Amino acid sequence: MTVYDAARVNMIESQLRPNKVTDERVIAAFMRIRRELFVPERLRGVAYVDDDLPLGGGRYMMKPMVAARLLQAATVEAKDTALVVGAGVGYEAALLAQLARSVIALEEDPELARIGRSALVDHRIASVSYVEAPLPLGHRQRSPYDLILFAGAVAAIPEEINSQLAEGGHIAVVLRQHECVGRATLITRTGGALALRVIFDAATPLLPSFVAKPAFVF
C-alpha cells in the first residue's frame, strides 16, 4: 500500500463515514479515484486533507466530505447523465463517472482542464467529456441532465442552467452569499417546478464566475 492509498483509506474512515456518508456506492467511488492525480504536483502531499485545496486564480477543489454528501444526496443512478459546472481538475466528474452513465465536465480554465484530462486518462475513464466554455451558460447541447453538480459554491444559479435540468432531475450545489455560511442544497425538478432542500452548512469557496454582483447604492 502506498502512502496515497493509506491517505485515501484514512479520508474515508475519518472524513466521510463520521459525517453521515453511508452510501457504499459513493464510498467505493472515493476509494477508486486517486485524488492525488487530480491536483497540481505541488499539492499532492496534501491531496487528502479535510479542506478546500487552493488551485490558484480563486479556484478551489472542494473538500472531500462536501463532495461526498452532495453526491449521496443526489441519489445518482447508473442510467443518469450529469453535468459538472466548474469541473476544475475533474475530481468530482471522475467520481460521478463511477455512478452515472455519462458526465460533461464544464470548465473555463484551460490549465485546470488539462490537469483533469490527464488524470482521467490515467484512470482510463472514457465516460467524462471536458467542454471548455463559460460556466454560467451550462452546456445546452447535451441537456437535459439528470444531475447538475456545481464543484464550488455559487451565489445563485442562472436560469439558463436551471432550464437544462431534466424532469425528476437534481441540482446539487452549495448556495452562498459572499460573507454568509454556505448551504449545501438539493434542488429537484418536479412538474416543471424547482423545489429546494437544504442538507447541511458548508464553507465551500465561491466559484469566481458565480459571485453575486454588488448592488448599486445611491
Show me where the domains of the chain are located: 3-210
pLDDT tens track for 140-194: 999 999 999 999 999 999 999 999 999 999 999 999 987 788 999 999 999 889 9
Res 37 pLDDT > 50: yes
The residue-averaged pLDDT of 98-109 equals: 98
The confidence score (pLDDT) of residue 211 equals 81
Report the mean per-residue pLDDT for the chain. Answer: 94
Res 45 pLDDT > 50: yes
Work out the percent of the chain whose per-residue pLDDT is above 70. Answer: 96
One-letter amino acid for residue 114 of the chain: R
CATH superfamily of 3-210: Vaccinia Virus protein VP39 (3.40.50.150)
Strand partners, 196: 187
pLDDT tens track for 57-96: 999 999 999 999 999 999 999 999 999 999 999 999 999 9
Work out the percent of the chain whose per-residue pLDDT is above 90. Answer: 93
Task: Provide long-range contacts, Cβ within 8 A and 24+ apart, for 160-169.
Answer: 160/136, 161/85, 161/136, 161/137, 162/194, 164/83, 164/138, 164/139, 164/140, 165/189, 165/194, 167/191, 167/192, 169/144, 169/145
Task: Give Dmax over CA atoms of the chain in angstroms.
Answer: 62
The confidence score (pLDDT) of residue 213 equals 63
The residue-averaged pLDDT of 115-134 equals: 97
Res 55 pLDDT > 80: yes
pLDDT band at 218 (very low <50, low <70, confident <90, very high): very low
pLDDT band at 114 (very low <50, low <70, confident <90, very high): very high
Displacement of CA 201 from its chain's centroid (Å): 16
